[in-house]
Amino acid sequence: MKQSIYLFLILGLISMSCSNKESNPFLVEWNTPFQTPPFDKIKTEHYVPAFKEGIKIHNKEIENIVKNPEAPTFKNTIEALDYSGKILTRVRRVYVGMNDAMTNEQFQKISKEISELRSSHEDDINLNAKLFERVKSVYDNKENFHLNKEQQMLLDRYYKQFVRGGANLNDADKETFRQLNKDISLLSIKFGENVQKDINNYELVIENKDDLDGLPQGVIDAAAVTAKEKGKEGKWVFTIQKSSMIPFLQYAKNRKLREQIYYAYTHKGDNNNEQDNKKILAQMASLRLKRANLLGYKTHADFVLDKEMAKESKNVYGLLDKVWPPALKIAKKEREEMQKIIYKEGNKFKLASWDWWYYAEKLKKQKYDLDEEQLRPYFKLENVIQGVFDLATNLFDMHFVERFDIPKYHPDVKTFEVKDKEGNHIAILYTDYFPRASKRGGAWMDAFTKQSKEDGKFIHPVIYNVGNFTKPTAHTPSLLSVDEVETLFHEFGHAIHGMLSNCTYESISGTETPRDFVEFPSQVMENWAMHPDVLKKYAKHFKTGEIIPKELIDKISNSSKWNQGFATVEYLAASYLDMAWHTLTDTTLQDSNKFETKTMNELGLIPEIVPRYRSTYFNHIFSGEYSSGYYSYIWSEVLDADAFAAFVESGNVYNKELASKYKKYILSSGGTDDAMTLYRKFRGKDPSIEPLLERRGLK
Ligand SMILES: [Zn+2]
């Protein structure tokens, strides 16, 4: 209770001291339902002043911790740190959400200033010698404080944060460190903006109906909607957003146009124009290495992995190297099968990277008599959402009620209250599922408020899921592809992880786990998405309401290993690329394309497959926070495949007993214990890699 009163007092002081601040919605109390962000009041001009004020207040709080005349204790130092910076956290969380989903030129302008403010504030804390002295004192004397496991984890987290943040450096090195952080964060923003610009600038405009040959009606309609939005009514426009491009690659007979759109996609940030990212990313790799060296690490990857489950590069390579050879072998087989189709159709050309989706689709039809478009009618967005909600109800007793009184930042957004079976409030969930120019590509989850407890008061989480799924057209609702359904379940898994969190400290609650663990609760949901017992419940025809026929379910199951060689190789190639950039030991600027080609050649990647992300648009590692971390998905997949195997082995994918164990040890525990320990508590054994190899058909 104390902390909230304190927060209220601060807010009171702010609003009394300056009338200008009174009108800044970040600096006054939120009287919205469940204290959700007042999006109806927040404007772009509010962010910078709110950041500045938030930093000022946070600095004051830190000063109070440092000046505390009492000897450092867990409570007056570590816990106090975790409870500090509330206003700053509040504005930061909304800012991060809007920067990804509602950006525009005006927003991009402030984002540079905010990035500098944030990075220098972080440095001010991490490089605050007196503060570190107190943290270190608690760390060195930890046995005196009788800490429980959660408190030990929090202490470790802060101690590491300081050491990794340069606290042990001498003054000159601290200055260098600070400058490196600043440079890296600015380059990273520029990188992301460049990718976004290239996505927004490209359009494939089709005027001649013949060029639409092969495309399903739904895809054509969607392209007509996009054309209309772009002021080109009567034509058809495809973009290099995946939801627009992939169906084009799958079905368009016009090979030249497939090549054109795929070229644009694979050359984002690599057009030698002002949006070019080659030099930017090479600089980032070099600066990251310098920073790692300064902290005593041999490479940036070693620096990053030190706090993950994998711990060292060799363990990452250990896993990648196990999966790569069988995956490449299968991919080559897939290539052969597709080449046969090309010859059989009387063509002489060799399969190219832009042909892969088109012929893979044909192969699927030939082998499994399955056409992706046959499935879409059963995956109306609203039905899929209902499906994932029902799954959460069945497994974890979560109940969803749409709310219409919570302010939204865009009309596409929906808001839900999540309750337990007794009707008690658990969380708020926002969903925002359609692409728009102001939104970055991909799909993600994050929080406007993270779960925590303060002096006995439970702070409920406010979570959001964002995606770029197929939009409705004039004739049809939003009908998802299988890939999109899996993505929706995936992000929803992250959301559940955030919503069911039951931890004390915000910094280690919910999804604040090692990064190579965090994809486990999300990926495991994908298993349920396509399981026959689950499909039967939610996959209903959007027109007739007919449940997906058994024949189609069988086809989905039979084809589950289709194209897995490609999917695995495409993903692993990007993981190797990430590791290659970040295990460099030489700070000389690399020629980005040469480096990439060399890395891929050494790996033996076949030219018909392009890494899932090429360097120049690898947002995860150059503009997001996944540097030396793209491997995390397969690392977590070992866990998710092994975990789901437990449900399957039990003969019931809705096994309540397993689900409640899973909820207790994985979903509610955040980062309050060692990740492997938590896993063992749930599973009763170490994870095995076999279920993963089996699932991908690599055995
Ligand atoms: Zn994820």
pTM exceeding 0.85: yes
556 touches 320 (CB < 8 A)? no
298 touches 292 (CB < 8 A)? yes
- pLDDT tens digits, one per residue of 419-432: 999 999 999 999 99
Between 10-19, 40-49, 491-500, 624-633, the lowest mean confidence (pLDDT) is in: 10-19
pLDDT at 22 over 90: no
**Angle, helices 313-344/356-368, rounded to nearest 10 degrees:** 70
Instruction: Tell me the torsion sign for CA atoms 343, 348, 351, 353.
Output: negative
Question: What is the pLDDT at residue 63?
Answer: 98
Q: Which amino acid, one-letter code, is at 644?
A: F
pLDDT tier at 17 (50, 70, 90 boundaries)? very low
Q: Which of 491, 506, 596, 608 is catalytic?
A: 491
Question: What is the pLDDT at residue 112?
Answer: 86
pLDDT at 15 over 50: no
**Token pair of 103 as six digits:** 């950006």
Question: What is the pLDDT at residue 692?
Answer: 95
Ligand 1 centroid distance, CA of 667 (Å)? 14
pLDDT at 614 over 80: yes
Average pLDDT over residues 248-252: 97
For β-strands 462-466 and 425-432, DSSP reports them as: parallel
519 touches 308 (CB < 8 A)? no
In this prediction, what percent of the chain has a pLDDT beyond 90? 92
**Token pair of 620 as six digits:** 């995860």
pLDDT at 442 over 90: no
Cα distances (angstroms) measured from residue 17 to each of 48, 243, 598: 18, 50, 61
> What is the Cα 568 distance to its own chain's centre?
19
- pLDDT tens digits, one per residue of 90-110: 999 999 999 999 999 999 899
Give the C-alpha separation, 628 to 560, whole Å.
29
Question: What is the pLDDT at residue 541?
Answer: 98
Ligand 1 centroid distance, CA of 617 (Å)? 18
Bridge partners of 465, per DSSP, are 431, 445
Order of strands across the sheet that contains 414-419: 399-403, 414-419, 425-432, 462-466, 444-449
613 touches 574 (CB < 8 A)? yes
**Angle, helices 44-67/105-126, rounded to nearest 10 degrees:** 10
Question: What is the pLDDT at residue 21?
Answer: 63
Ligand 1 centroid distance, CA of 494 (Å)? 7
pLDDT at 304 over 80: yes
243 touches 469 (CB < 8 A)? yes
**CA geometry: angle 188, 45, 466, nearest 5 deg:** 55
pLDDT at 5 over 70: no
Ligand 1 centroid distance, CA of 491 (Å)? 6
Mean pLDDT of the chain: 94
Ligand 1 centroid distance, CA of 599 (Å)? 26
pLDDT tier at 699 (50, 70, 90 boundaries)? confident
257 touches 215 (CB < 8 A)? no
Average pLDDT over residues 213-225: 94
Going by C-beta distance under 8 Å and a sequence separation of 6 or more, which residues neighbour residue 450? 93, 459, 461, 498, 501, 506, 509, 510, 512
- pLDDT tens digits, one per residue of 137-160: 999 999 999 999 999 999 999 999
Give the C-alpha separation, 450 to 501, whole Å.
9
**Token pair of 428 as six digits:** 């708020």
Residue ranges near ligand 1 (ion) with Cβ within 5 Å: 519, 522
- pLDDT tens digits, one per residue of 551-575: 999 999 999 899 999 999 999 999 9
Between 81-90, 202-211, 690-699, the lowest mean confidence (pLDDT) is in: 690-699
**CA geometry: angle 49, 55, 60, nearest 5 deg:** 130
Give the C-alpha separation, 523 to 638, whole Å.
10
pLDDT at 1 over 50: no
DSSP string for residues in 281-310: HHHHHHHHHHHHHHTT-SSHHHHHHTTSSS
Question: What is the pLDDT at residue 20?
Answer: 63
Average pLDDT over residues 272-285: 98
pLDDT at 329 over 60: yes
- pLDDT tens digits, one per residue of 372-394: 789 999 999 999 999 999 999 99
pLDDT at 3 over 80: no
Ligand 1 centroid distance, CA of 371 (Å)? 27
pLDDT at 486 over 80: yes
Question: What is the pLDDT at residue 4?
Answer: 40
Residue 546 annotated among the catalytic residues of the structure: no
Question: What is the pLDDT at residue 13?
Answer: 43
**Token pair of 104 as six digits:** 């525009």
Average pLDDT over residues 614-636: 95
Rg (C-alpha) for the chain, rounded Å, is 25
378 touches 539 (CB < 8 A)? yes
429: left (phi over 0), alpha (psi -120 to 50) or beta: beta
Ligand 1 centroid distance, CA of 515 (Å)? 10
Average pLDDT over residues 244-262: 97
Residue 281 phi, psi dihedral angles, 5° rounding: -75, -35
